Structure 1
Amino acid sequence: MIVSNVSLSGCAGVNSALCAAAGEGHLRGGSYGTTLTPTGNLVVAVCLGIIGTLGLVNNLLVLVLFCRFKILRSPINLLLINISISDLLVCVLGTPFSFAASTQGRWLIGEGGCVWYGFANSLFGIVSLISLAVLSYERYSTMVAPTEADSSNYHKISLGITVSWVYSLIWTVPPLFGWSHYGPEGPGTTCSVDWTAKTANSISYIICLFVFCLIVPFLVIVYCYGKLLCAIRQVSGINASVSRKREQRVLFMVVIMVICYLLCWLPYGIMALIATFGPPGLVTPVVSIIPSVLAKTSTVINPVIYVFMNKQFYRCFKALLHCEVLRRGSSMKSSSKVVTKALRGVAVTGPRNTNNFLFMVASLGEPVTTIPQLGPSVEPTIDVTRGSSSDINKPVVVSLVTHFDG
């Protein structure tokens, strides 16, 4: 998330007291009225209630699975847990207050609560976004590594988690000290960064926040997953039918990730820029609440995409529902493997005893339990298990591997 709730509306048509408070970044009283109709407040409250409940349940379930099944405690999964924790904190420390404000038609916890709400939700939201970018980079960096990732090495993942929180603090603390400020939001029932201020101070902060907390993570995600998809296509000649299925599944997952990211945050970013650079009143409170609600849906969508569409987590989820004990075996390995480079292999130009050839195929979210053998009628084009022709009897697997547990 860039910010959990964005002030997107101008002062036109808004209560004058509310406009004055928003312009100064302070609440003059303990509460203030909403600019939405009672029906509008009810609709927003229902949406926030559903989103908050589903987000709480989904993310709590992720934590329960992680604690219950040791097989899930791998470095890469710690990033998924970090995302779930940040989303869970939004559901616990953010959504209930905006939900309560919508049901009552006014902000309920005063000026200090407004600043705290804006800061906390911005912090947790950016942590979630940066963690998604770190997750994509981790998968990409593992792909280009010459050896298989060490499943017991938590150092790099711990560093990535630390970076996500420090980076978020770097961009959410400044409004507390004068670079922009946190204040009431357009509809009057939430608080966030004041996107309507026309001062150079506020505009410079908004531009930096938009670029470094929305655009940069998005570009990292697209680049890293794009490279991952290209790597899978490189091995499509090894086993065309199997690789095609893997490639299609990777493509499907990447497209879903990008679409959901844009669906949740692009409206938010566009509305924020319009409110910042457009004329006052161009974005009404009614319109501004829609991107805010869409952004909050990321707390529900993230666990579904990154965890429950992960076969490893899904198997554990089914085991939890049926009170089963998972057996340790090759089918529940902690990471998936993707062959991404076969350029070091030697092309096969003549008949071979293909029963001796083992080929690893690209997999996504599906552990490599067995390595298929080619039948005698199959003429492979690349042998990724053989060394040079002078050392043909010493098979050497040369491949790059990566995690793609999503």
Structure 2
Amino acid sequence: LSPTGHLVVAVCLGVIGTLGFITNFVVLVLFCRYRALRTPMNLLLVSISVSDLLVSVLGTPFSFAASTQGRWLIGRAGCVWYGFINSCLGIVSLISLAVLSYERYCTMLEPTTADGRDFRPALGGICFSWIYSVAWTVPPLLGWSKYGPEGPGTTCSVDWKTQTPNNISYIISLFTFCLVLPFGVIVYSYGKLLHAIRQVRRVSSVVTRHREQHVLVMV
């Protein structure tokens, strides 16, 4: 990138990082302050806010500083740290969204058994999201692929370029289990929810029409 391009990226990262920190911090404050917001579903949203807030604190400042200078500033170890943290927290958010959609789908299937005060399913989903994400982002630290510079050299991520069986197998696995699979769960769960809502509306419309016809007959 040209110096102007790096400057534009730096400004965008600064805005995104600042807004991300403020909005997610506000979410956490509201959740802690207002008891009515402390529901199992909202707890999953809090987990997402925590991961996004950590990105704003532990990741964005480094890429922002690098973009202002046009080069990576904290060495190889810092690059590995940045790549691991951002990959892990990004996957946490996506898996948490998949868990949230599945929880809502389960609530739709069995609304009578859903307990708004039972935090165990939500806590289980949160633990699963974080453990699953760590399990998929630690391997590059142990030799299955690696973390390195990407793009204009001001950020770091999984090595997408090296064409070796070791690296390609990790990329395919990561893409399948950390993108396609959670995205599929989200699409399936919300697709079922939308289908159920349409059915309810259709039934409600039929019932309303019958009532109107009955009233007309009586009149």
Place the TM-score, normalised by the shorter chain, in its bin. Answer: over 0.9
C-alpha distance in structure 2 between counterparts of 1:89 and 1:140, whole Å: 28
Q: Which has the larger radius of gyration?
A: 1
Match of 2:89, as an amino acid?
A: F
1:101 to 43, 66, 81: 66
1:185 to 132, 150, 159: 150
1:77 maps onto 2:42 in alignment = yes
C-alpha distance in structure 1 between counterparts of 2:97 and 2:160, whole Å: 25
Give the aligned partner of residue 110 of structure 1.
Answer: 75
Give the aligned partner of residue 62 of structure 1.
Answer: 27
Identity of aligned residues (%): 68
Map Cα deviations across residues 264-311 of structure 1 (whole Å, 9 max, x no partner).
xxxxxxxxxxxxxxxxxxxxxxxxxxxxxxxxxxxxxxxxxxxxxxxx
**Count of matched residue positions in the alignment of Structure 1 and Structure 2:** 215
Map Cα deviations across residues 322-349 of structure 1 (whole Å, 9 max, x no partner).
xxxxxxxxxxxxxxxxxxxxxxxxx9xx
Give the aligned partner of residue 377 of structure 1.
Answer: 215
Q: TM-score, normalised by structure 1?
A: 0.51
Q: Please list, as runs of the form range in 1=range in 2, the aligned pairs for 1:16-27 lying within 5 A after superposition.
A: none
C-alpha distance in structure 1 between counterparts of 2:174 and 2:151, whole Å: 19
Deviation above 6 Å: which 4+ runs of structure 1? none
Give the aligned partner of residue 196 of structure 2.
Answer: 231
SS of residue in 2 equivalent to 1:239: helix
Map Cα deviations across residues 337-388 of structure 1 (whole Å, 9 max, x no partner).
xxxxxxxxxx9xxx9xx8xxxxxxxxxxxxxxxxxxx9x8389xxxxxxxxx
Give the aligned partner of residue 52 of structure 1.
Answer: 17
Give the aligned partner of residue 164 of structure 2.
Answer: 199
Alignment gaps of 5+ in structure 2: none
RMSD: 2.1
1:160 to 125, 131, 152: 125
Match of 1:144, as an amino acid?
A: L
2:174 to 203, 206, 209: 209
Map Cα deviations across residues 124-165 of structure 1 (whole Å, 9 max, x no partner).
000000000000000001111151410111111111000000
Residue 109 of structure 1: how far off its partner (Å): 0.9
Give the aligned partner of residue 108 of structure 2.
Answer: 143
SS of residue in 1 equivalent to 2:161: coil
2:88 to 112, 123, 127: 123
C-alpha distance in structure 2 between counterparts of 1:138 and 1:207, whole Å: 27
Map Cα deviations across residues 103-129 of structure 1 (whole Å, 9 max, x no partner).
011111111111111101111000000
Map Cα deviations across residues 6-50 of structure 1 (whole Å, 9 max, x no partner).
xxxxxxxxxxxxxxxxxxxxxxxxxxxxxx211111011011111
Alignment gaps of 5+ in structure 1: 1-35, 242-346, 355-373, 380-406
Map Cα deviations across residues 153-206 of structure 1 (whole Å, 9 max, x no partner).
111111100000011011100000000001111311111111100110000000
Match of 2:41, as an amino acid?
A: I
Give the aligned partner of residue 141 of structure 2.
Answer: 176
SS of residue in 1 equivalent to 2:215: coil
The answer to which structure has the higher helix fraction is 2
Match of 2:123, as an amino acid?
A: S
SS of residue in 2 equivalent to 1:184: strand
SS of residue in 1 equivalent to 2:106: helix
C-alpha distance in structure 1 between counterparts of 2:105 and 2:85, whole Å: 30
